[in-house]
Amino acid sequence: AAVMAGKRGALIVLEGMDRAGKTTQCKKLVQALQQSNRPADLITFPDRTTPIGQQISAYLKSDTDFEDHAVHLLFSANRWEMVPLMKRKLEQGVTLVVDRYAFSGVAFSSAKQGFSMDWCRNPEVGLPKPDLVLYLQLSPAEAALRGQFGDERYETSAFQKAVKQNFEQLLKDSSVNWQVIDASQSVEDVHKDITDRSHKAIIRAQSLPLGELWK
C-alpha cells in the first residue's frame, strides 16, 4: 500500500557575532513556531552537555588547553555526534532551530594564525545542510552598546574583528542560503523578520530533500 511520506522539518541556523541576539531570537523562534502548531526544537552548538561538549566548555573557560587544530576538530565532532538525532527529528517533521553551526566553527578557527578557511571547512563537509542560515548583522559599535565582552576565550575585540571578516567571507558562498537580518532593530522587529523567513523556509523544505553541506 502506498504510504504518504511525512513532511520533513526545516533546518534553520542562526549565526552572527557575539551579542547580536542569536540566543534570544532562537528561543523566541522556537516558541513562535510551536504556538503556530509547527513542531520545533532548539539545538545549540557547542552542545556543552556531551563528553566532547564538556571538553569544549572547559577549553572556552580556559580550564584546559587544546592544540588549535585539535579543538577545531572537537567543535566539529560535537556537531557530528548530534547528526543522527538531528536527522531523526527532521524526518519526523520537527523543524530544528540551531544556535551556531559549522559557520561559527570556520569563522572562529580561521581567525587563528595559520588556519585557512579551506582547512577549517573540511571536517564540516557533509553535515546536514541548513535550509536557511540567518546572519544577524550588528556593527561592532552597536554590539559595544549592548555590554562588555565576557571572559571566555575569543572574547576580545581583535579576535572578534577577525571573526567578523571571516563571516563576511562565508556570506559570499552562494551554495548556502544566507539571509542577512538587521540585528540593530528592536527584539520584536528582528523576531518578526526571522519568523516570516522561517515560515517560508519550512514550506519550501517540505518538498526538497535535506542537502549535504559543502559537498
Report the candidate in 19, 6, 42 with the shortest Cα–Cα distance to residue 198: 42
Point out which span in 25-33, 101-109, 115-123, 181-189 binds ligand NYM (CB under 6 A).
Answer: 101-109
Angle, helices 51-60 vs 68-80, to 10°: value is 140
Spatial distance between the Cα atoms of 114 and 129, rounded to a whole number of angstroms? 27
Name the residue nearer to ligand NYM (CB basis): 30 or 202. 30
Binding residues for ligand NYM, total number by CB under 6 A: 9
Cis amide prior to 123 (ω within 30 degrees):
no
Residue 104 within binding range of ligand NYM, rule CB under 6 A:
yes
**Closest distance between ligand NYM and the C-beta of residue 60, in Å?**
5
Q: Which of 40, 75, 98, 143 binds ligand NYM (CB under 6 A)?
A: 75
Tell me how far, at minimum, the Cβ of 207 lies from ligand NYM, in Å.
30
Nearer to ligand NYM, 60 or 205 (CB): 60
Q: Does 59 bind ligand NYM (CB under 6 A)?
A: no
105 binds ligand NYM (CB under 6 A): yes
* Residue ranges in 126-155 that form contacts with ligand NYM under rule CB under 6 A: 154
- CB-CB neighbours of 215 under 10 Å: 10
3-state secondary structure of 167: helix
d(CA 196, CA 183): 15
Q: Quick one: which of 200, 197, 198, 207 has its CA closest to 6?
A: 207
Q: Which of 21, 46, 123, 130 binds ligand NYM (CB under 6 A)?
A: 46
- 48, three cell numbers: 556543552
**Residues 100, 25: contact at Cβ < 8 Å?**
no
Which one of 88-96, 97-105, 165-173, 179-187 is the stretch in contact with ligand NYM (CB under 6 A)? Answer: 97-105
Using the minimum distance from each CB to ligand NYM, give the nearer residue, 60 or 82: 60
C-alpha cell at 118: 579551506
CB of 204 to ligand NYM, least distance (A): 25
What residues pair up with 14 in beta bridges, in sequence order? 99, 134
The footprint of ligand NYM (CB under 6 A) covers 45-46, 60, 75, 100, 104-105, 108, 154
